[in-house]
Amino acid sequence: MRAMRPDQQPRLQQLLQQGLAAAGVLGGAAAVVSATQVIATAQVGDMQLSDPMMLGSTSKSITGQAVRQLAEQGLIDLHAPLRTYLQGAKVLPDATVREVAQHRSGLRSDSTLAKNKKFRYANQNYNYLGELVEQVSGLPFLEYVQRNIAPGAGASAHYGHGGIFGHWYRARKFSTDRSSWIQPPSGALTMSTLTAAQYLQDQLAQPLLRIDAAPADHSPAVAGIFGELGNYGFGWIEKEHAGHKIYLHSGKVPGATSVFAVIPGLDRGLVLLVPYGEFLCATPLVEKVAEALLQFVMGEEVTSMPAVGRDRRVRHWKIGAACFAGLAVAIGLAMLSRWVQLPWLGLVIVIAGAVGFRVVSGTPTRWIIRFVPELFVVLVLALLCTLAVVV
């Protein structure tokens, strides 16, 4: 296996163009790095290498590095309970800083608290780690990052484009303050492709990735690029592929998708920034593009690239079919409830189903609407159809 060389830049450009076209997005940028240089870059559409973009959850690796730096300086004890430093943190009382960084604090995705330390991916864990960095360093989180990790990082977002039923729209701005589900430490940092490339170079140049990661197999947070098996720690997902350890993370926010990956054994890293986010369709396809690019970077045959046109169409057909099925069920329930002379039963069941989805997904309602607007449209139509039948 021979890692990608600088003279293969045209092939990187070709693969990026092919992949983003297959995903149905109109722009994006990528860079491949070693510890000492940017090996190759590629850009498609109006996305420039210097354009900043909100990263999403790839921000977590930066927060994880900040915590590790302060631990190496003796300012944070990774094995001490987080509440030693942040008394108001709503995690399990004995959850250590290390366990918080591994998403084993008891927090669920919606920031409610469970009774055990099973792996549960939760933004609030990293929001708390950002507060920890501020308290211990005496600096605002972004300033700490700019001084010690990534000088070009920011928090003034390039919000990109969201999607609904295959159509793109300009993503709306959202708050990233302390009250938000998505804050800079968990997902709202911004970087350009070039800044992110330098960050990955720095990771490869140090004995990184002494990442203390815990098993997280089959979690949706880990599934995706190179399968469902992996460990999680300090903002990185650790996976095995073709005899190499790969540390990677995807970032997904309304309007943007990002992927960071480093392969220490090959001295290679990949950053992919795409200012488009469509949670049910385009975003998973962008992750497949990232997997294909990683295969190329590692010197493998490229087998993961989505097929132009077909994969996106199939996904949209499935989404459309699911939406029509949901509406049909809602109308059927309304008609049945009217037939048994319990006219409001159908409406109650539809509302209960919506509440149940919210609970099972573990995602705050306003963010479900932002990430999956199709679901909101179907729910509103289902309620209107149910009311029409009942009334």
Q: Based on the domain organization, do 13 and 145 belong to the same domain?
A: yes
Q: Based on the domain organization, do 370 and 265 belong to the same domain?
A: no
Query: For residue 307, what is the DSSP state?
Result: P
Please answer whether residues 280 and 319 qualify as being in contact, where contact means their C-beta atoms are separated by less than 8 angstroms: yes
In a domain, 92, yes or no: no
Please answer whether residues 91 and 106 qualify as being in contact, where contact means their C-beta atoms are separated by less than 8 angstroms: yes
Q: Does the pTM of the predicted model rise above 0.85?
A: yes
Helix 123-137 crosses helix 141-148 at what angle (to 10 degrees)? 80
Query: Of the given ranges (246-255, 275-284, 306-315), which has the lowest mean pLDDT?
Result: 306-315
* Calpha distance 126→59 (Å, rounded): 9
When comparing pLDDT for 375 and 100, which is higher? 100
When comparing pLDDT for 2 and 322, which is higher? 322
Letter for the amino acid at 74? Answer: G
Per-residue pLDDT at 158? 63
When comparing pLDDT for 340 and 251, which is higher? 251
Per-residue pLDDT at 88? 92
Q: Based on the domain organization, do 315 and 228 belong to the same domain?
A: no
Q: What band does 368 get if pLDDT is binned at 50, 70 and 90?
A: confident
Residue at which a domain ends, from 256, 277, 298: 298
Condensed to tens digits (0 to 9), the pLDDT of residues 136-193 reads: 999 999 999 999 999 999 987 666 999 888 889 998 888 899 989 899 999 999 999 9
When comparing pLDDT for 348 and 104, which is higher? 104
Per-residue pLDDT at 174? 86
* Calpha distance 324→32 (Å, rounded): 42
Q: What is the DSSP string of 247-297?
A: EEEEEEETTEEEEEEEEGGGTEEEEEEESEE-TTTHHHHHHHHHHHHHHHH
* Calpha distance 321→331 (Å, rounded): 15
Letter for the amino acid at 79? Answer: H
Q: Please work out, in degrees rounded to the nearest 5, the angle formed at the alpha carbon of residue 261 by the alpha carbons of 312 and 130.
A: 105
* Calpha distance 212→210 (Å, rounded): 6
* Calpha distance 4→269 (Å, rounded): 10
Q: Mention every residue, 6+ apart, whose C-beta is less than 8 A from residue 229.
A: 217, 218, 222, 239, 240
In the numeric block, the tokens 């220490």 are attached to 264
Closest Cα to residue 89, out of 46, 295, 97, 203? Answer: 97
Condensed to tens digits (0 to 9), the pLDDT of residues 322-362 reads: 877 877 877 787 777 777 777 677 677 777 777 777 777 67
Closest Cα to residue 274, out of 39, 22, 65? Answer: 22
Mean pLDDT of the chain: 89
* Calpha distance 373→280 (Å, rounded): 10
Q: In this structure, what CATH number is given to the domain that contains residue 140?
A: 3.40.710.10
Per-residue pLDDT at 137? 98
Burial class of residue 28, CB neighbours in 10 A (0-12, 13-18, 19+) = buried
When comparing pLDDT for 190 and 363, which is higher? 190
Letter for the amino acid at 137? Answer: S
Q: Based on the domain organization, do 59 and 184 belong to the same domain?
A: yes
Helix and strand numbers, DSSP H then E, in the chain: 11, 13
Percentage of the chain exceeding pLDDT 70: 96
* Calpha distance 251→274 (Å, rounded): 10
Q: Based on the domain organization, do 148 and 286 belong to the same domain?
A: yes
Closest Cα to residue 57, out of 181, 186, 157? Answer: 186
Query: For residue 44, what is the DSSP state?
Result: E
Mean pLDDT, residues 220-232 taken together: 94
Per-residue pLDDT at 71? 96
Per-residue pLDDT at 207? 66
Q: Based on the domain organization, do 51 and 150 belong to the same domain?
A: yes
How many distinct structural domains can be found in the chain?
2
Condensed to tens digits (0 to 9), the pLDDT of residues 55-79 reads: 999 999 999 999 999 999 999 999 9
Q: What band does 310 get if pLDDT is binned at 50, 70 and 90?
A: confident
**pLDDT for residue 252 is more than 80:** yes
Q: Based on the domain organization, do 290 and 203 belong to the same domain?
A: yes
* Calpha distance 364→175 (Å, rounded): 14
b/e sequence 185-204, b meaning 16+ C-beta within 10 Å: bbbbbbbbbbbbbbbbbbbb
Q: Based on the domain organization, do 173 and 227 belong to the same domain?
A: yes
Q: Which domain holds residue 326?
A: 310-390
In a domain, 338, yes or no: yes
* Calpha distance 283→281 (Å, rounded): 6
Closest Cα to residue 163, out of 304, 285, 43, 19? Answer: 285
Percentage of the chain exceeding pLDDT 90: 63
Q: Based on the domain organization, do 146 and 259 belong to the same domain?
A: yes
Q: What is the DSSP string of 120-177?
A: ---HHHHHHHHHHHHHHHSS-HHHHHHHHT-TT-BSS----EEEETTEEEEPPP---S
Q: Based on the domain organization, do 290 and 322 belong to the same domain?
A: no
Per-residue pLDDT at 210? 62
Mean pLDDT, residues 74-95 taken together: 97
Query: Of the given ranges (25-34, 128-137, 248-257, 372-381), which has the lowest mean pLDDT?
Result: 372-381
Q: What band does 285 get if pLDDT is binned at 50, 70 and 90?
A: very high
